[in-house]
Chains A and B, each alone.
Chain A
Amino acid sequence: MKKNTLHTFLTYTTLAFLTVSTLTSCEDVVDLDVKSGAPQLVVDGWVTNQQTSQTIRLTESAGYFDNSQAKPVLNATVTVTDDKGGVFSFVDLKKDGNYVWKPVAVSDTIGRVGRTYTLRIKMGTEEYTAVSKLNRVPKIDSVTYFFDKLPIAPADDAPQEGYTAEFFARDPTGAGDCYWIKSYKNGKYFNKTTEITIAYDAAFSPGANSDGLRFILPIRRAISPEFYKEKDTVKVELYSIPLEGYYFLNQVRTESSNQGLFATAPSNIYSNVKNTNPTGRKALGFFGAAAVSTFTEVIDAKKAKPKDGN
């Protein structure tokens, strides 16, 4: 709860700042000389209960200001096993570091709620593993929207008025469910790190004691980082993620927008990928298992709810 509250409060304060004083804080892009370190394996992938192909991307890390696409890791052996004896092979079909598993039959899926998945990556003499449990996910009941207008025009060219959408779902009873909420406007994923929305039970963090509640308002409305227009398609994906995934994404969000007066001390982002040789080169990134609920709605002015209609 507090992360978003903090965010809102900072927004208001910024507003207060601007009005209260002539102080002009400013940000300038500058040159910075940093020494780069040795590259490491980066793992990026999920296995889900969806009936689609699944991809695990293997790349190498590079110097911080090396502004090119990450170098793919080729010729690795990638397998995922579950705790019920299932074995799934991932193959780099296009030789671009994207290791893919394809369902043979339409009903084929890797993910089953309650199972634990182990990723194994063999690269030459080194072997990496990561373990993740696939947790339950509630269904999304509905997506509603209302017309709204901002008092002042947003800084980037985003629209000043339009529809704010919110999704309704209820966290199942039993504390400790973690979620990642992804949203799309007309198929375009809201991909900024500041738009990462994660939940612990029905609120933002473990301290919030929100088990079994309907997702709280700021999470419900997080699917509207900007306004939707008439006829826009709103798509919401609710991922059940493991606790480590919650911490990982929380850190991704913090470390990629760690700025201003209230920045925290930068720290390295946690990874659940381990080298089987404890003294070997460490890996980066995250491998997770998730169950996914989705909901799609097209904005129709006639169906809009009144503002603050709850």
Chain B
Amino acid sequence: MKHIFSILLWLGMATWAYSQEKRTISGYIKDASNGESLIGVSVYVREIGNGTVTNDYGYYALNLPTGVSYTLVFNYIGYEKVEKKVTLTDDLKLSIELKDESVKLQEVIVKTTKEDENVKNIEMSVNKVEMKTIRQMPALLGEVDLVRSIQLLPGVTSVGEGASGFNVRGGNIDQNLVLLDEAPVFNASHLFGFFSVFNPDAVKDVKLVKGGIPAQYGGRISSILDVRLKEGNAKKREINGGIGTIFSRLSYEQPFAKSKGSFIVAGRRSYIDVLAKPFLNGDLKNSRFYFYDLTAKANYRIDDKNTVFASGYFGRDVFGADFGFEWGNRTATVRWNHVFNNKLFMNATAFYSDYDYGLESDRNNKNKSGDKFKWNSSITTWSMKPDFTYYLTPNNTVTFGGQYINYSTKPGTATAISSGEERNISLDPRYADESALYIGNDQKVTDWLSFQYGIRYSYFRNLGPGTAYEFLEVVKGDRKLPVSEKKYESGVINTYGNWEPRFSTKIELNPSTSIKASYNRTAQYLHLLSNTAASSPLDVWTLSSKIIKPQLADQVALGWFQNFQENMYEASLEVYYKKLQNQIDYVANSDLLLNSYLEGDLLFGNGRAYGAEVYVKKNRGKLTGWLSYTLARTERKIEGINNDNWFPARFDKTHNLSTVVLYQLNDRLSFSANFAFNTGTPATFPTNRFEWGGWTLPQNVDNSRNAARIPSYHRLDLGATLKSKKKLFGKGQGEWVLSIYNVYNRRNPFSMYVRQNEDNNLKTEAVRYAVIGSVVPAITYNFKF
């Protein structure tokens, strides 16, 4: 470790030592309309043919020789370009506000900017989708949904429609670090996966990192979905709202303290239960079925050097009548941005995040001698995380920092009462912590060559009190039997440590073409155990232990990045290969809930994923959108499954094509369309049948897994947005959004399975199951003041 740090520092210092006297230009870049800081804005210095981009807080810094005049060009997709001429004599603060370009959309703007993120930025395997775009895309039931939109990007699949989560480059859904203002969200779904928990009215920026993961990120091995909330309009009060088929929404933003601060509060709630109430009688009278979420954020700029942010999320799904089931996430984040000096920027984050669910039977039974069942499960984390950016030279930006995460999980706290006798059937809580240190450097070697390299060391400890079990394998692939257990009252039960090297490079062949390559290793100590096709809210996040080793991934990626027609079009072709270790699978009949000997039901093995991704995006003009195509293979090799041979994962899709087209007809009317085509997901079918107990049961003589496939999936969605002509109450704006999901009414299969006929046990049949089996039209009304 020491060596690597000194090499990193040395590389940086070497360039520094030879430099002349320098001063720094730094500042924040914001949206002129609402004061939101802008992430990833290109800041280009024409005279030196080089530049930087703003960080996650809209901050940039450039260290340049003094006594020279510079032209700074600020450029960001969807915003007007700004040029500033400066003569550098001393440190300079230069904060800029960029104007939204769509205001003058009617003019066809042809830009002659040389710089472009797709080609110039060292980032690869990263997809950003503007919220503006997500809003315009046709959505299921008219509900703008971030996770559904993510699934139209290259390299992203899911087990099927309606399933929660998403799979990135062959990773399971628990291998995505889903961050909401830096706090991890453990279950990003409402209604079992149909909608994600992110309120589109409160989200500013979404970034999906699939590869070339920088050293500051860790904890999950496949991807980072970094969702940043709006800071709230810093210029004026703003109210947004809408009524859709599922949710009604309202958000409120306002500046305070003379625009030194601002906040946003946004809420959503499903409302069908309110409408249905008068029609429910009998046992259904006490029915509860609703879900809601509340998102809030505030920021306050103390002075030029200090800004603080606080944000939080609270959401819940509640179902049932006499039998109740509910679940939800809570997150809270506090951040402090501090500029130590012109070169050193710090963001310190503290967050809290939890997820819990509860089931309860016989809720209406108040009789003490009666029968009842109550069950809760939860995971709670808190973390401290300082991150530093050191703008060493224009060519070297060093990032370093660390993180401490504390976990406590209650896998199951349950009581059962049978005829008045109560039993506690709870599992022991589990405790652990994870620490990490990292350092990295972004180095521009020449105009055309850049490196980003770094290393992260993560260290995990299982903490007492707790019990460590040992198991004996009787038959390979079958349940392992517990043979011993050791109780720990306190102290450290078990530890793991992993070095996680990260490396990326960019070679610019010409101003519109670059080649990028990356390698990263990632480690994961927290696993979502789920033996079902789609993950259910009951699945339990489980910590690594002596038995459950940390999941590791090594990924290499290589890409060609090309822009056409003055950056009107950007395109990329990437290939990747990923190797996964310590992947988890399950014995037949595995029992993952309320089972002390759960670890005996787990199987372990390796995974591999490889593929090619093509992405073509049109950035400007009346017609915008993208086309994405992925050719991929995702496989697992688990001891005891598929005769120990490689088999395709449940979400493996050979071909995955998506297109998104947005067309702005005029100021008021726009249209949109999505089309998706996927190869059918793998399935296991029986070869034979046998009769037992009067039933006809399936059997696969080859004992194979996922050897067949269900039919392919394809779907077209259309949408239209019409802005109202009249101002709403004199000042506001209203719009109608029409969306049609699954336009040609295809019954796309989620799965295929076999069964015996309901009326005749001797007859066996195959069944195709579609989650959404028809066209789904919807209309939404949105307003803004």
Q: Which residues of A are interface residues toward B (Cβ below 8 A)? A: 1-2, 5-6, 8-9, 12-13, 15-17, 19-32, 34-40, 42, 44, 57, 59, 61-70, 149-152, 189, 191-193, 202-203, 205-210, 213-218, 247, 250-252, 254-270, 284-286, 308, 310
Contacts and interface: CB of A to CB of B under 8 A. Distances in A.
Given A207-B595, A268-B588, A19 B688 contact: no
Interface residues on B, range: 35 or more
B371 A310 contact: yes
20 contacts: A2-B594, A19-B273, A20-B191, A26-B773, A28-B747, A31-B766, A61-B699, A69-B691, A150-B283, A151-B281, A191-B761, A207-B425, A208-B416, A209-B424, A214-B419, A217-B418, A255-B698, A264-B586, A265-B650, A310-B367
B357 to A, nearest CB: 10
Nearest to A36: B687
Given A63-B688, A265-B650, A191 B694 contact: yes
Interface in B565-606: 586, 588-591, 593-596
Interface string B79-100: 0000000000000000000000
Interface in B664-703: 684-695, 697-703
Interface stretch (B127-135, B199-207, B254-262, B532-540): B532-540
Contacts of A32: 685, 752, 754, 766
Nearest to B587: A267
B527 interface: no
Nearest to A34: B685
B325 interface: yes
A286 to B, nearest CB: 7
A23 B691 contact: no
Contacts of B538: 6
A64 B687 contact: yes
Contacts of B691: 42, 44, 57, 59, 69-70
Given A26-B773, A205-B591, 5 more contacts: A38-B701, A259-B751, A259-B755, A259-B769, A262-B533
User: Top 9 nearest A-B pairs by Cβ distance?
Assistant: A37-B701, A32-B766, A267-B588, A26-B773, A217-B371, A61-B690, A262-B532, A207-B594, A16-B289
A264 B765 CA distance: 19
Contact of B703 (A12, A208, A252, A268): A268
Interface string B107-140: 0000000000000000000000000000000000
Interface string B555-570: 0000000000000000
Contacts of A267: 588-589
A93 to B, nearest CB: 19
A218 B323 CA distance: 12
A255 B292 CA distance: 36
Contacts of B773: 24-26
A38 B533 CA distance: 29
Contacts of B362: 217
Contacts of A258: 753
Nearest to A182: B693
A260 B161 CA distance: 11
A63 B369 contact: no
A68 to B, nearest CB: 7
Contacts of A268: 588, 699-700, 703
B764 A65 contact: yes
Contacts of A210: 416, 418, 423, 425
A44 B755 contact: no
B468 interface: no
B756 A20 contact: no
Contact of B536 (A214, A218, A262, A269): A262
Contacts of B689: 61-64, 66
Interface string B164-182: 0000000000000000000
Nearest to A249: B693
B416 A216 contact: yes
B320 A12 contact: yes
A189 B533 CA distance: 32
Interface in B343-368: 359, 361-362, 364-365, 367
Contacts of B756: 193, 256
Given A5-B359, A5-B373, A30-B768, A203 B416 contact: yes
A64 B323 contact: no
A30 B753 CA distance: 10
B688 A36 contact: yes
Contacts of B208: none
Contacts of B491: none
A176 to B, nearest CB: 13
B771 A310 contact: no
B282 interface: yes
Interface string B701-717: 11101101000000000
B740 to A, nearest CB: 12
A39 B246 CA distance: 52
A13 to B, nearest CB: 6
B29 interface: no
Instruction: With a 10 A CB-CB cut-off, give which of B194, B753, B758, B767 has the most chain A CB atoms.
Output: B753
Nearest to B362: A217
B765 A29 contact: yes
Nearest to B319: A16
Nearest to A210: B423
Given A207-B591, A214-B421, A64 B533 contact: no
A55 B569 CA distance: 75
Given A261-B163, A285-B692, A67 B763 contact: yes
A152 B695 CA distance: 30
Contacts of A23: 141, 194, 771-772, 776
Contacts of B770: 25-28
B697 A252 contact: yes
Contacts of B593: 2, 207
A29 B418 CA distance: 41
Contacts of B383: none
A110 B157 CA distance: 57
B162 interface: yes
B325 A263 contact: no
Contact of A266 (B192, B246, B700): B700
B370 interface: yes
Nearest to A35: B687
